[in-house]
Amino acid sequence: MTIRLPTELVAAGLAPADALADLARVAERYAVAITPEIAALIDRANPHDPIARQFVPDVAELAVAPGERADPIGDDAHAPVAGIVHRYPDRVLLKLVNVCAVYCRFCFRREMVGPGKQMLSAAQLDAALGYIAANPAIWEMIFTGGDPLVLSARRLAEVMRRVAAIDHVKIVRLHTRLPVVSPDKITPALVRALKASAKTTYVALHANHPRELTGAVRAACARLIDAGIAMVSQSVLLRGVNDDAATLEALMRAFVECRIKPYYLHHADMAPGTAHFRTTIAQGQALMRALRGRVSGLAQPTYVLDIPGGHGKVPVGPGYLDMCGDAGAVVEDVKGKRHNYP
């Protein structure tokens, strides 16, 4: 049974009894949900367990640091109709739901998701799909939320049927945690629901630590991939979870072993109450340099930053090239040695 209440956290051994009052204050502001699969992964003997850190609430979430904001990547600035974010000309986000199977403590949409947050009404979904149909430059639809895969296979199949009727949309991408946090819900019916005629479907899987990719999770991903659905990964660089080269290496190798292409490593966004998760950009760049020397190109994600205020996502990985005008360039190799290039 999914853990949702502070008292359930204490009863499950995920928090001490003397933290109950603080946990209640956090839960009053931000949603809590930990599935049985995630609870089983948590090492209760380790006070710094990286799985617990992602999902068990912490009183530090009530401290808002300078620069943090309720809408850190500026979704609202690019929302022409309810449920749509149209930041780039050729793609849109469609927020189908505002709930998740679990709630990550670092979530950049934490002010917008949780129990009681409304999903799109039938009229709003009509308007959102109508907006997409009326904009022929839109080539890719990205289902997000919340987690779109918490919907039933029937509901997802109906939405995909309607998307199939929009000729200029060629790519459908769904962002999800569900295969990690509740792998048994990746049923044959749900897999079938994600496919649409004349569309290519991608599933972007969010995982941040190699321990999340259990045998059951790998089997759930295989059900998607074997059905012809391509998968990419998204991870967030998190202090105390994956901010060391060995953990990132193991995570990226695990993705590739699962036939999931590492896609993005996100610098943690400026969401309220998340300062205890953020590294510096310089630390992230150093980790990407280390990763470049440890794993092949197949296992290299792009380190990206969403510029606060809605200005878009940009790569912020380390540079290896210094231009020297007419003399050419100086190139740095993965060991830090510099070489002239004419």
Assign 65 a pLDDT band (cuts: 50, 70, 90).
Answer: very high
Average pLDDT over residues 105-127: 91
- Asked if residue 118 has pLDDT above 80, the reply is no
What's the distance, CA 116 to chain centroid? 22
216: confidence class by pLDDT, cuts 50, 70, 90: very high
Q: Is the pLDDT of residue 33 over 90?
A: yes
Q: Tell me what pLDDT residue 154 has.
A: 97
Of 4, 29, 69, 88, catalytic: 88
Per-residue pLDDT, 70: 94
**Are residues 15 and 9 in contact, defined by beta-carbon separation less than 8 angstroms?**
yes
Residue pair 264/304 in contact by the 8 Å Cβ criterion: yes
The larger pLDDT score, comparing residue 64 to residue 335, is at 64
Helix (H) or strand (E) holding 203: strand 200-206
The pLDDT score that the predictor gives to residue 115 is: 87
- Candidates 58, 71, 243, 269; catalytic one: 269
Please give the pLDDT value at position 4.
Answer: 97
Q: Are strands 200-206 and 230-237 parallel, antiparallel or unpaired?
A: parallel
- All domains of the chain in start order, with CATH: 1-51 (no CATH), 63-322 (3.20.20.70)
Segment 90-109 mean pLDDT: 96
Asked whether residue 335 carries a pLDDT value surpassing 90, the answer given is no
Instruction: For residue range 42-59, list pLDDT tens digits in order.
Output: 999 999 999 999 999 999
At residue 248, the pLDDT reads 98
Q: Considering 71, 147, 243, 306, which one is annotated as catalytic?
A: 306
Residue 29: pLDDT above 90? yes
Q: Catalytic: which of 49, 58, 71, 87?
A: 87
Q: State residue 241's pLDDT score.
A: 98
Q: Which of 30, 95, 104, 173 is catalytic?
A: 104
DSSP 241-282: TT-SHHHHHHHHHHHHHTT-EEEEEEEPP--TT-GGG---HH
Lowest mean pLDDT among 38-47, 61-70, 102-111, 317-326: 317-326
Segment 325-339 mean pLDDT: 87
Q: What's the CA gap between 33 and 63, in Å, rounded?
A: 21
Does residue 155 carry a catalytic annotation?
no
Q: Is 104 a catalytic residue?
A: yes
The whole-number pLDDT of residue 285 equals 97
- Of the pLDDT bands very low, low, confident and very high (cuts 50, 70, 90), residue 328 is confident
Catalytic residue among 49, 71, 100, 131: 100
Predicted local confidence at residue 117, as pLDDT = 80
244 counts as catalytic: no
What pLDDT is recorded for position 156?
A: 97
Render pLDDT for 272-326 as a digit per residue (tens, 0 to 9): 999 999 999 999 999 999 999 899 999 999 999 999 988 999 999 999 998 887 7
Told to judge if 221 belongs to the known catalytic residues of this protein, a careful annotator would answer no
Residue 123 has pLDDT above 80, yes or no: yes
Check whether 145 has a pLDDT greater than 90. Answer: no
DSSP symbol at 318 = P
**Residue of 105, 109, 110, 253 with catalytic role:** 109
pTM (2 d.p.): 0.95
**Average pLDDT of the segment spanning 250-262:** 98
Residue 283: the pLDDT is 98
Enclosing H/E stretch for 51: helix 50-55
The one catalytic residue among 25, 162, 313, 320: 313
What is the percent of the chain with per-residue pLDDT over 70, rounded to a whole number? 100
Catalytic residue among 107, 131, 202, 278: 107
* Residue 160 clears pLDDT 90, i.e. is over it: yes
Burial status of residue 337 (CB atoms within 10 A of its CB: 0-12, 13-18, 19 or more): exposed
313: annotated active-site residue: yes
Contacts of range 59-66, beta carbons closer than 8 Å, 24 or more positions apart: 59/19, 59/22, 59/23, 59/25, 59/26, 60/273, 60/275, 60/276, 61/26, 61/29, 61/30, 61/105, 61/273, 61/274, 62/25, 62/26, 62/29, 62/273, 63/273, 63/275, 64/272, 64/273, 65/270, 65/275
Q: What pLDDT score does 119 carry?
A: 80
Q: What does the pLDDT average to over 226-243? A: 98
pLDDT, mean of residues 134-141: 98
Mean confidence (pLDDT) of the chain? 96
Among 69, 91, 223, 292, the active-site one is 91
